[in-house]
Structure 1
């Protein structure tokens, strides 16, 4: 068996698809240290520059002093501490939904929510570019897993009309993690209303950025009891974990049926306390989003005359598609040698190889200018 695995790893490497890790020796941010080198970081999801923020660190330290390091148990036994409860209440109010439930990770939230809401005899309708965690959740739910072409509303409508499922759930990324484009949420909600379905939104890359920080619900001005909303906290919020908000009945159901919430130890109270400080910063510090969108505009303007074609949208995720995985790796390596870290994303994560450039409020004009200059040099 070891020989077989080794042969398959060799085959992956021959196709330029082998994955490897690099170890970061510093705090996360727009400048990181790897193997003793300082690099400009354009591949993280710290969109607002909060991952190493002094206020968040102080909140976490104070919570450790009061609540200790570990939570000691699952939420339903004795691990649900005051910061967890405050965070759920605060988040629900922030996104305008009646109640919320915390999860240790966004991946666990997707697994827990979808498998709790649909099963045999039901159907889940998912965009083909959804995150892997959504796809895994759909498969594990044992519901009929129906995929529609990316943002294809007419195709989805036909699939919904043809379904005889007992319960229907539409599941999409609100902002697609590898492309950076937005799902047409108003039209998707209209379809959910028309065909008596739930609409589940994974807003991992929209929360903190869109809708003055309140996320995609605020951006699209959505309000419906059919909505189930997920925000992960390891991106713009700068911490870790995830929160799901919905009608109180839905949250009570998840508390009783979402296995990834029930059968796992609660995250440390310090993480919840840091996230409460993060929500304060997201609502208070509009300048962070101003800086972020200024850097996005700078990148797009700087590459407008190049051979690189950026997408039409202006989110923090700005991919440059390439023809082969080998080209993506070579361009990423050339940037690395110039002190710039951009991730090469390859199949099967995406259908088309690319460099996934991500911007942060903490990037300076000089940081983005250096990236633009290096890309022009490598044309």
Structure 2
């Protein structure tokens, strides 16, 4: 409310015209200092994660270059690769051997490896350490979309039991000037927008050349005011993540008793594979009638024959919520 009262509800222009306000600058500095995927890191705010990924890929590579992407990456990374006009090389999910073969045989001038950190439909975590080793070996950028890790994962917190919430890279202890880190601010942070954190030279390249940054209206400055409060909660209250992981453990124990396959995810995304599209829709509808909202995910979002319930937990859920979901699914299964 204070941000809206002082700055209004819109930025009014792009960042490079007159839409960059003090709250934007403060938030970028705060994110750069806190996330810091490398020394001399800066951060840059975007209106959405989609625009952020478009900016990164199209600014760093083009014709004569190559993008190497996991087949289960989010669609915006795929779209970014296509728009960049670089060669678009996809490798089977998590198949590092196949990726290395493609990197080794590539004659591209510049190479970029793009990956989700936490895969949005399976909930598994990319082998980021191994990907960084390949990036170093083959002189490539490593672009990491941490939409589902930021605010949820991280190294052990100094603020108390639990992790820091700084994201997947921090949890794995990875720091490199090759890393370009993107995370969204509308999931764990609960507001809207996204940011890119990378070496200052990368950020300056985005500011000067990324069309999806230059030619779009900046996010409302009041959102950066709200994000300041949100980041304080993420940083200072690791007990929220302790609670979240207790919910995940509770669910996984319950899911083992159900007749469907729960994917081996240890993140907030807990897919339950049902197989047939009709089964996913029918069970999702049955849960809805019990006042439980779990979306059904079907092809082409996921491979044919792997329709699923995409169960996602948050720190706002309770143990009773998990138990009620498990009981409802057990009833539906009978």
Same fold (TM over 0.5): yes
**1:133 matches 2:76:** yes
Query: Structure 1 residue 367 and structure 2 residue 321: aligned?
Result: yes
Write out the 4+ residue segments of structure 1 that deviate beyond 2 Å after TM superposition: none
Residue 116 of structure 1 and its aligned partner are, at CA, apart by 0.9
Structure 2 distance, partners of 1:254, 1:121, is 19
Offset at residue 237 of structure 1 (A): 0.6
Question: Are the aligned partners of 2:36 and 2:198 in contact in 1 as well (CA < 8 Å)?
Answer: no
CA distance in 2 between counterparts of 1:101 and 1:274 reads 17
Aligned counterpart in structure 2 of residue 100 of structure 1, from 21, 40, 43: 43
Unaligned runs of 5+ in 2: 155-163
Q: 1:230 pairs with 175, 179, 182, which one?
A: 182
Q: Paired residue for 1:39?
A: none
Give the whole-Å Cα distance in 1 for the aligned partners of 2:255 and 2:216.
46
1:253 deviates by 0.3
- From 84, 96, 120, give the equivalent of 2:24: 84
Indicate the larger mover: 293-302 or 187-196. Answer: 293-302
Corresponding position of 1:5: none
8 A contact 2:54–2:212 mirrored in 1? yes
1:337-373 C-alpha deviation (Å, 9 max, x unpaired): 1111100011111112110000011111111111000
**Which structure ranks higher in relative contact order (CA pairs < 8 Å, sequence separation ≥ 6)?**
1
Distance in 1 between residues matched to 2:324 and 2:53, nearest whole Å: 37
Q: Whole-Å Cα distance in 1 between the matches of residues 275 and 44 of structure 2?
A: 42
Per-residue Cα deviation, 1:237-273 (whole angstroms, up to 9, x for no partner): 1010000010000000000111111001111111111
| TM-score normalised over the length of structure 2 | 0.94
Q: Name the counterpart of 1:18.
A: none
User: Does the 8 Å CA contact 1:168/1:196 hold for their aligned counterparts?
Assistant: yes
Q: Which residue of 2 aligns with 1:248?
A: 200
Shift of the alpha carbon at 1:298? Answer: 0.9
Give the aligned partner of residue 323 of structure 1: 275
Q: Any idea what the Cα deviations from partners look like across 1:166-213, whole Å, max 9, x if unmatched?
A: 000000000000110000000000000000000000000000001020
Q: 1:292: which partner in 2?
A: 244
> How big is the shift at 1:321?
1.0
How big is the shift at 1:305?
Answer: 1.8
The 5-angstrom pairing of residues 1-379 of structure 1 reads: 61-97=1-37, 98-211=41-154, 212-351=164-303, 352-379=306-333
Q: Structure 1 unaligned runs (5+)?
A: 1-60
Q: Secondary structure at the match of 2:62?
A: coil
Normalized against structure 1, the TM-score is what?
0.83
What's the Cα RMSD here?
0.8
What is the aligned length?
A: 319
